[in-house]
C-alpha cells in the first residue's frame, strides 16, 4: 500500500490527469480546427466505447456505438451553439460546477503522502476533544410506567427500591417493574447511547450515580427507573493504535482543507479585486492578502 502511494508513476498519472482537466477547463476551444467542423477522432470513439463498457460491462454493439457517436455530435453542436450565444455566461450552475471541478483538481494535487505515526499522534494530542471516549456505563434498570401506576407511582417506586436493595444484587430483577421494549441491562453504554435509548435527563442523572447499589427514581422519556450501575468507565483519550484510522481520516481531511485554502490564496494574489458599492461612487479596492 505504502509502496503504491510512493510510486512516482502513480503521482505522475494523478498530477497529469489533474493538469489535463485543468487544461481542458481553460482552453476549451483551442483544440478545434474550425468552428463549423466536427471531427470525431478515433480516440473519441474509443473513449465513448470505453465509457459504455464501464457502465454495461460489455462493449457496445455497432448500433449502440453509432447511437453514442450521434449523441456526442448532438451534444457538441448544442454546446458550441449555446456558447456562441453566450448561454454559458452568468449561469450559476455552470460557474459553481467549474469551481467545484477546479477544487477537485487541487484536491488531487494536494493529495498527501502517508502521515507517520508521529504526525498522527501530534494530531491526536492537539485535538483530544474529537477523539476522547466515554464515560460508559454497565447497568441494569427496572421501569415503572406512570400511566399504569397512576397515583401509586411514588409509593410503588419506594417499595420496589427497598426490595431491590434488600436482595443485595441477588435475585432476578427482570421479573420486576413494568414491561418496556428495551433491554433490561446495558453493557458499556456511552452517553450518546443513553440519550438515544432513554432521553437526555436520564443520561445526565446516570452520570451522577455512584456504582454498586440500586438507586432511583431516575426519570427518562418513558417514566421512572430504578438503576444499578455495576461499572462506570471514566472518559479517556485512546492510544493512537485504537483509533488510527479515524485520526488518519481527520488528519488527511484537515491537510486537504488547509492546502486548498493556500491554493486559493495563491490564485487570489494574482488578481486585483475591486468591489463597487454599496453606495455608488464609493468603490473600494484592495490587493489580495494571503
Partner 1 sequence: MKTTRRRNLVIVALSLALGLGNLSESSAADLPAPNPENNAYFGDVHVHTGWSFDALTNGSKTVPMDAYAWAQGRPITGSGGPEMQIQTPLDFYMVADHAEYMGVFNQMTNPDSPISKSEIAKGVTSPDANVRLQTFAGILRDMSEGKRDPLLSDPALARTVWAEIVKAANANYAPGKFTTFAGFEWTSNPQKRNLHRVVVFRDTAHLPDLVLSALDSDDPETLWKWMDAQRGKGSTLFAIPHNGNASDGLMFDTVKRNGKPIDATYNKARADNEPLYEITQIKGTSETHPDLSPTDEFAGFEQWDYTLSADFERPTHRKGSFVRQALLDGMSQAAGGAGNPFKYGFIGDTDTHNAAASHEEYNFTGKFAFENNAKERLTGIHGAPAGQIQQIQEFSSGGLAGVWAPQNTREAIFDAMQRKETFATSGPMMKVRFFGSFDYGADDVNKADFVKLAYAKGVPMGGDLKPGVGKAPTFLVVALKDPKSGNLDRVQIVKGWLDAAGKQHEKIFDVAWSGDRKLGADGKLPAVGNSVDLKTATYTGKIGSAQLATGWTDPDFKPGERAFYYARVLEIPTPRWNTYDSARLKMPPLTKVPATIQERAWSSPIWYAPGR
Which is closer to partner 1, CB of 84 or CB of 201?
201
SS3 28: coil
- Identify the residue whose cell numbers are 437526555: 200
Cα-trace Rg, the chain: 32
Shorter beta-carbon distance to partner 1: residue 125 or 253: 253
- As a whole number of angstroms, the distance between CA 88 and CA 94 comes to 7
Distance of closest approach, residue 153 Cβ to partner 1, in angstroms: 13
Nearest of 69, 68, 43 to residue 55 by alpha carbon: 68
Residue 44 vs 80, nearer CB to partner 1: 44
The DSSP secondary-structure symbol of 33 reads S
Q: Please classify residue 59 by burial: count the beta carbons closer than 10 Å to its beta carbon, then call 0-12 exposed, 13-18 middle and 19+ buried.
A: exposed
Comparison of 161 and 180: residue with beta carbon closer to partner 1 = 180
CA-CA distance, 68 to 52, in Å (whole number)?
9
Shortest Cβ 214–partner 1 spacing (Å): 20
- The rounded distance, in Å, linking the Cα atoms of 36 and 13 is 34
C-alpha cell at 156: 410503588
Residue 82 neighbours by CB distance under 10 Å:
12
What CA–CA distance (Å, rounded) separates 144 from 75? 68
Q: Smallest distance from the beta carbon of 25 to partner 1, in angstroms? A: 8
Q: Which is nearer to partner 1, 58 or 170 (CB)?
A: 58
**How deeply is 69 buried, as exposed, middle or buried, from its count of CB atoms within 10 A (0-12, 13-18, 19+)?**
middle
Contact between 44 and 50 (Cβ < 8 Å): no
Residue 106 Cβ vs partner 1, minimum distance, rounded to whole Å: 6
Question: CB 142 → partner 1: shortest distance, Å?
Answer: 13
- Select 45 or 209, whichever has its Cβ closest to partner 1: 45
Least gap, CB of 281 to partner 1 (angstroms)? 25
* Category of 138 on φ-ψ map: left (φ > 0), alpha (ψ -120 to 50) or beta: beta
Least distance to partner 1 from the beta carbon of 222, Å? 4
CB 8 within 8 A of CB 113: no
Determine if the peptide bond prior to 13 is cis (ω within 30°): no
C-beta of 47 vs 213, nearer to partner 1: 47
Smallest distance from partner 1 to CB 141, Å: 13
User: Which one, 158 or 267, has the nearer CB to partner 1?
Assistant: 267
Amino acid at each position: 500500500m505504502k509502496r503504491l502511494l510512493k510510486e512516482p508513476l502513480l503521482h505522475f498519472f494523478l498530477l497529469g490527469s489533474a493538469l489535463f482537466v485543468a487544461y481542458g477547463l481553460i482552453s476549451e476551444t483551442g483544440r478545434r480546427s474550425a468552428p463549423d467542423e466536427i471531427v470525431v477522432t478515433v480516440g473519441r470513439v474509443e473513449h465513448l466505447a470505453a465509457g459504455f463498457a464501464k457502465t454495461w460491462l460489455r462493449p457496445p454493439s455497432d448500433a449502440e456505438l453509432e447511437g453514442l457517436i450521434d449523441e456526442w455530435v448532438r451534444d457538441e453542436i448544442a454546446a458550441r451553439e449555446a456558447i456562441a450565444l453566450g448561454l454559458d455566461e452568468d449561469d450559476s450552475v455552470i460557474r459553481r460546477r467549474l469551481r467545484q471541478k477546479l477544487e477537485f483538481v487541487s484536491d488531487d494535487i494536494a493529495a498527501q503522502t502517508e502521515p507517520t505515526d508521529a504526525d498522527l499522534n501530534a494530531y491526536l494530542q492537539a485535538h483530544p476533544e474529537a477523539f476522547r471516549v466515554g464515560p460508559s456505563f454497565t447497568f441494569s434498570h427496572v421501569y415503572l410506567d406512570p400511566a399504569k401506576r397512576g397515583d401509586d407511582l411514588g409509593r410503588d417506586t419506594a417499595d420496589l427500591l427497598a426490595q431491590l436493595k434488600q436482595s443485595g444484587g441477588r435475585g432476578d430483577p427482570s421479573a420486576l417493574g413494568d414491561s418496556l421494549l428495551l433491554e433490561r441491562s446495558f453493557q458499556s453504554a456511552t452517553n450518546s447511547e443513553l440519550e438515544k435509548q432513554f432521553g437526555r435527563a436520564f443520561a445526565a442523572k446516570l452520570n451522577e450515580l455512584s456504582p454498586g447499589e440500586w438507586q432511583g427514581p431516575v426519570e427518562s422519556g418513558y417514566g421512572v427507573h430504578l438503576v444499578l450501575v455495576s461499572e462506570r468507565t471514566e472518559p479517556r483519550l485512546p492510544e493512537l493504535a485504537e483509533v488510527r484510522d479515524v485520526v488518519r481520516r481527520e488528519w488527511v481531511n484537515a491537510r486537504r482543507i488547509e492546502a486548498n485554502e493556500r491554493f486559493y490564496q495563491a490564485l487570489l494574489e494574482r488578481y486585483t479585486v475591486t468591489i463597487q458599492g454599496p453606495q455608488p461612487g464609493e468603490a473600494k479596492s484592495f490587493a489580495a492578502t494571503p
